[in-house]
Structure 1
Amino acid sequence: MEAFETILVVATLLTGAIWLLDKLFFAKRRAERGGLLDEEPVLVDYSRAFFPVLAIVLVLRSFVVEPYKIPTASMYPNLEIGDFILVNKFAYGLRLPINNHKFVALGEPKRGDVVVFHYPGYPCEVDGKIVRSGDRYCYQPETPVVNQNWIKRVIGLPGDRISFEDNTVSINGKPLAYQPLGAYADPRSGVPGAQLLKEELPGRPHEVLENLDAHVVSGEWVVPAGHYFVMGDNRDNSEDGRFWGVLPEKDLRGKAFLVWLNCSGWFCSNGFNPSRIGTRIR
């Protein structure tokens, strides 16, 4: 996804520059000469045709809405493998493409929001400094963070103390309530014996999956300013803040809000679920 973003930015700038340079310096000379050999070059013709289209796509994708595909089961039962989702890119501020730098602040994530973000990597101490590596054990200090976009749910806000123990999330010392909804049998969730529960997250109750007999990661995390604590809804099949810590605000990409298609495999060869179309992400 990031490679496509880079290609889109480069193609937009290149076609725009070719079109502008021709218009400022070469088009008048060709018009004055008026010979057959002075017709508009093919490169200029293509640049003039493609630049407006590329510019519109770049603006929409960078500042308005961006599509993503769900590749894993970490957000079951609410987001399924093969879901194509739309992400609101201006919900938390306008950010530059490629480097994700926020230059206009418009809002902050709320508890329960489903967010897309740059995977921040595992925190490791190297030479007295905390660095982030794509490898959880930080074998090589200079190893860059894996350039991926992930999706999870915001559980902890700045200043919160989050704990997870005995399959229960607690926020600032108050355990959340859970309402059993029965067994969940979809094998794609990757959690045998999963139970469907309604988690009473303040302001955003939602369904989660858990295997109540499984051994899961437990711990406590304090969320500093400018950070968030995120978790997957599929609690026994999600690599989230319980493993790699808090999420820096600078890594946010946007807020997921709609499923517009569900399709797995080339040309939906592994399945197409029309009932998922138009599903709001809550």
Structure 2
Amino acid sequence: MNFALILFVALVVTGGIWLLDALLLKRGRDKDAREPLLVEYAKSFFPVILIVFGLRSFLVEPFKIPSGSMMPTLLIGDFILVNKYTYGIRLPVINKKIVQLNNPERGDVMVFRYPADPGLDYIKRVVGVPGDVVEYREKKLSVNGRAVPVRNTGTYSYVGNGLNYITAMVYDERLNGTGHTMMVEPGKPSVASAQVMDFPQRENCSYNADGEGFVCKVPPGQYFMMGDNRDASNDSRYWGFVPDRNIVGKAFFIWMNFDDFGRIGTTIR
């Protein structure tokens, strides 16, 4: 569901009714006559819709985390806020950038439109920016030939798909000098080879036949994304690069989780 489009249509309809009444219909009514109910509703809802549309389009947009691909950073049921202007100001609905501000950096948690189906919003971490060579072999990430520093911090257990109880190894990983948590499951391959799609510019990537890794050169204007739950994430390893035009914004804050109130107010890093 394209909620931005629904809001835009509602804004145009309510504003149009209000304007039509002010310019034409009002002249034909007696001064003491009551406004038609439709006009009353339009005048009441238009300012509210305008404020919501403006905030959501240019400042912050709320999202709910539907999967465990970003665990342990983000949990299923987290309600998050996404900064809509940090990467530039975009026209709502068509998502065309009109003002350039900052570019995504390695380590950012970013919401974007899934390249294979732009009607879906995904959230992952930026691990490769334009021009980077990203390599992931035997669960170890390297960027431009340099291993990304990691430090083991323990384990994390959760119930996965099919009610399987999973215990993963947790690491503090440092991209661009800023730490974040990520985790891997011992015994699983670095890439599930059978799930790799024939995505645009796939020739920029080379995969090991045994599923133990890959190396990709990120094209200009595109980004390489990976989930923090490395072995339970459908990400750029499988469907390729994220074009700049697909960017929605940078996730920065957890404002609600009805299953764990302790997560409220958590900054995303």
Q: Is the 8 A contact 1:111 1:203 kept in 2?
A: no
Q: Is the 8 A contact 2:160 2:166 kept in 1?
A: no
Q: Of residues 233, 239, 262 in structure 1, which corresponds to 2:257? A: 262
The equivalent residue for 2:217 is 222
What is the CA distance between 1:65 and its match in structure 2?
A: 0.5
Q: Of residues 220, 225, 236 in structure 2, which corresponds to 1:241? A: 236
What is the CA distance between 1:40 and its match in structure 2?
A: 1.4
- Letter of the structure 2 residue corresponding to residue 273 of structure 1: D
Q: Distance in 2 between matches of 1:110 and 1:203?
A: 11
- Letter of the structure 2 residue corresponding to residue 88 of structure 1: N
Structure 2 runs not aligned, ≥5 long: 192-212
**Structure 2 residue 50 is the aligned partner of structure 1 residue 60:** no
What is the CA distance between 1:204 and its match in structure 2?
A: 2.1
Q: How does 1:80-91 map to 2 (within 5 A)?
A: 80-91=75-86
Over 3 Å counting, the alpha-carbon distance change for 1:191 and 1:178 in structure 2 is farther
- Letter of the structure 2 residue corresponding to residue 181 of structure 1: T
**Structure 2 residue 31 is the aligned partner of structure 1 residue 34:** yes
Q: Is the 8 A contact 1:67 1:87 kept in 2?
A: yes
Q: How does 1:1-282 map to 2 (within 5 A)?
A: 1-2=1-2, 4-30=3-29, 33-34=30-31, 38-121=33-116, 145=117, 147-188=119-160, 192-217=166-191, 218-263=213-258, 272-282=259-269
CA RMSD of aligned residues (A): 1.6
Q: Distance in 1 between matches of 2:183 and 2:263?
A: 19
Q: Is the 8 A contact 1:191 1:237 kept in 2?
A: no
Q: TM-score, structure 2 length as denominator?
A: 0.87
Percent identity at matched positions?
A: 47
What is the CA distance between 1:221 and its match in structure 2?
A: 0.8
Question: How many residue pairs get matched?
Answer: 246
- Letter of the structure 2 residue corresponding to residue 20 of structure 1: L
Q: Deviations over 1:122-147 (max 9, x none)?
A: xxxxxxxxxxxxxxxxxxxxxxx261
What is the CA distance between 1:41 and its match in structure 2?
A: 1.0
Q: Provide the secondary structure at the position in 2 that maps to 1:79.
A: coil
Q: Provide the secondary structure at the position in 2 that maps to 1:255.
A: strand
Q: Distance in 2 between matches of 1:78 and 1:188?
A: 16
Q: Distance in 2 between matches of 1:63 and 1:182?
A: 40
Q: Distance in 2 between matches of 1:22 and 1:241?
A: 51
Q: Distance in 1 between matches of 2:144 and 2:92?
A: 36
Q: Distance in 2 between matches of 1:34 and 1:85?
A: 49
Q: Distance in 2 between matches of 1:6 and 1:191?
A: 40
**Deviating more after overlay: 191-200 vs 157-166:** 191-200
Q: Distance in 2 between matches of 1:26 and 1:183?
A: 68
What is the CA distance between 1:231 and its match in structure 2?
A: 0.5
- Letter of the structure 2 residue corresponding to residue 229 of structure 1: F
Over 3 Å counting, the alpha-carbon distance change for 1:146 and 1:63 in structure 2 is closer
What is the CA distance between 1:29 and its match in structure 2?
A: 3.1
What is the CA distance between 1:6 and its match in structure 2?
A: 1.7
What is the CA distance between 1:177 and its match in structure 2?
A: 2.1
Q: Distance in 2 between matches of 1:210 and 1:191?
A: 14
Q: Is the 8 A contact 1:111 1:204 kept in 2?
A: no
- Letter of the structure 1 residue corresponding to residue 51 of structure 2: I
